[in-house]
Amino acid sequence: PAPLPDWPWPAVMAHRCGGALAPENTLAGLRVCRNLGCGGVEFDVMLTRDGTPILMHDETLPRTTNGEGRVLDHGDAWLWTLDAGIRHHVSFAGEPIPRFVQAIERCRALDLAANVEIKPCGGHERRTGEVVARLARQGWEGAVVPPLLSSFSVDALRAAADAAPGLPRGWLTDRVPADWQGIAQDLGVIAIHTNSLHLTETQAAGIKAAGLRLAVYTENDPQHARLLRNWGVDTIITDRPDLIRA
C-alpha cells in the first residue's frame, strides 16, 4: 500500500472540541479552540440509531445533554432537538449535538486540523469505523490537511482503513503494551495516542525511534506537558489549551 500522508501534529490540541472551556463535542467548542490559537482539535464521533455520525462521547445522553436514554435508541432528528450546552453552562444553552458533517465543515472553515476519534457503541465497531471513515474522506476531499482518524477499537480502525485507506490513522491505547510495535505495524497506523499518566520516557523514546508519531491525552498540567514534549511527544491533547499553550 502507498505510505499514509503525515499530519501537522499541532503541539496542543483541544480535547472534545474546546476542552473544559466549552460544552464538549460541540461547534461552540470548535470556535473556542480556534480563538485560543490551537492548530488542532480532537472530538468523538458515534452513530445514532439511523446510522448518522454525530459528535458524542458517552453511549448515554444525560451527562452532556438534556436527553435521557442511549444514543443508539434514538434517530438523528430527535437527537438534533436536544440541548448539549446547558449542562456545561447556561451561557451555552441551546447548543445542539452537532452532526459530524457540520463539524467537518466548521473545522475546514476555521482551518483546524481534526483528530476524529471513532467512538463506537459496543457491538457497532466495524460499522462505525466504516461510516466515519467514508464520511471523513468525502468531507475533507481536496483539503490540504486530511483528518487524522483514531480509535481505541482495533476493529473500528481496521474497518476505517478498509473504507478510507488513504487517511492517516492513530491507535489509541490507555497503556502502551509491550508489543506496541507489532500492533501498530499490524494496524498500519502512523501514531500511538496514549494516556499521559502512564507513558514512560523509555516508551516515548522507543515509539519515536520506530518512526511513529506520539500523542498524549488528557494532559492539563503545563509542567508535565513540557516534560512530555521533551520526551518527544508530538501532540498534547488537553482540556486546558489556554494553560498548556501559554
Catalogue the active-site residues.
Answer: 15, 57
Cα–Cα nearest to 185, from 164, 223, 203, 211: 211
Q: Per-residue contact track with ligand G3P, 13 to 32, x per CB under 6 A? A: --x-----------------
CA neighbor of 164 nearest in space, from 133, 190, 142, 187: 133
Question: At its nearest, how many Å lie between Mg ion and the CB of residue 159?
Answer: 18
Q: Which residue among 26, 65, 150, 153 contacts ligand G3P (CB under 6 A)? A: 150
Q: Which residues, numbered 109-168, are part of the site for Mg ion (CB under 5 A)?
A: 117
In whole angstroms, give the CA distance from residue 148 to residue 68.
31
Chain length of the chain: 246
Phi, psi dihedrals of residue 128, rounded to the nearest 5°: -65, -45
Give the number of other CB atoms < 10 A from CB of residue 169.
27
Which of Mg ion, ligand G3P, none lies near 193, with the C-beta cut-off 5 to 8 A by kind? ligand G3P
The stretch among 42-50, 97-105, 121-129, 151-159 that binds Mg ion (CB under 5 A) is 42-50
Q: Contacts with ligand G3P in 218-237 (CB under 6 A)?
A: 237
Q: Among residues 117 and 234, whose Cβ is nearest to Mg ion?
A: 117
Q: State the alpha helices, DSSP H only, in 4-89.
A: 27-35, 76-79
Based on the shown chain and the rule CB under 5 A, indicate whether residue 219 belongs to the binding site for Mg ion.
no
CB atoms within 10 A of CB 76: 16
In the region spanning residues 163 to 192, those forming contacts with ligand G3P, defined by CB under 6 A, are 172
Contact in structure between 16 and 29 (CB atoms under 8 Å): yes
Sites of contact with ligand G3P (CB under 6 A) = 15, 42, 44, 57, 117, 150, 172, 193, 217, 237
Sites of contact with Mg ion (CB under 5 A) = 44, 117
